[in-house]
Copies of this chain bind each other. A is one copy, B any other.
């Protein structure tokens, strides 16, 4: 690309990212990993487990930034591989149309989604995963829940930033919210 010079590297430094974060929306993807049966019915939803230093537990979707000059489907692949390992065999949807767009605002209450660090706008996709999932070393585990379980107050209460709501939207989209 011709628009870059030696003095402006292709990637933002951590300080630059921090500075930009408070001043423009940052593009994210959210992926809901699912197991499906032979006819495409969602039978399980995969949630990442994080154990915090204070002993509390939170559960999360696969989520992350889209980088400069990265296609959305490449960002989906990169984050799924990072969180689920190299042999998860995700089936990225053929259509770029997300099932919804989650607008995480730094101010709580503007939308159901909240991110204290930034205004993140996340394109959300349901991704069937056919292979073996091996979360990486960074203290994450992956647990497969039934649709009924992820919609339950117990699991919903372990999700943060509005991802519980996003998950219910995913279930509704696949006809599995009861």
- Given A106-B3, A173-B97; A23-B40 close (CB under 8 Å): no
- Closest B residue, CB atoms, query A10: B23
- Given A103-B72, A165-B177, A177-B168; A12-B24 close (CB under 8 Å): yes
Total interface residues in chain A, CB < 8 Å: 72
A152 cross-chain contacts in B, Cβ below 8 A = none
Task: Tell which of B25, B98, B100 touches A67, judged by Cβ atoms closer than 8 Å.
Answer: B25
Report the minimal beta-carbon distance from A45 to chain B, rounded to whole angstroms. Answer: 11
Task: Tell which of B38, B76, B100 touches A97, judged by Cβ atoms closer than 8 Å.
Answer: B100
A22 in the interface (beta carbon within 8 A): yes
**Bound Cα distance from A41 to B70, whole angstroms:** 14
A16 cross-chain contacts in B, Cβ below 8 A = 20, 23
A119 in the interface (beta carbon within 8 A): yes
Identify which of A128, A169, A175 gathers the most chain B CB atoms within 10 Å of its CB. A175
A150 in the interface (beta carbon within 8 A): no
Inter-chain contact B119/A69, CB cutoff 8 Å: yes
Report the minimal beta-carbon distance from A145 to chain B, rounded to whole angstroms. Answer: 15
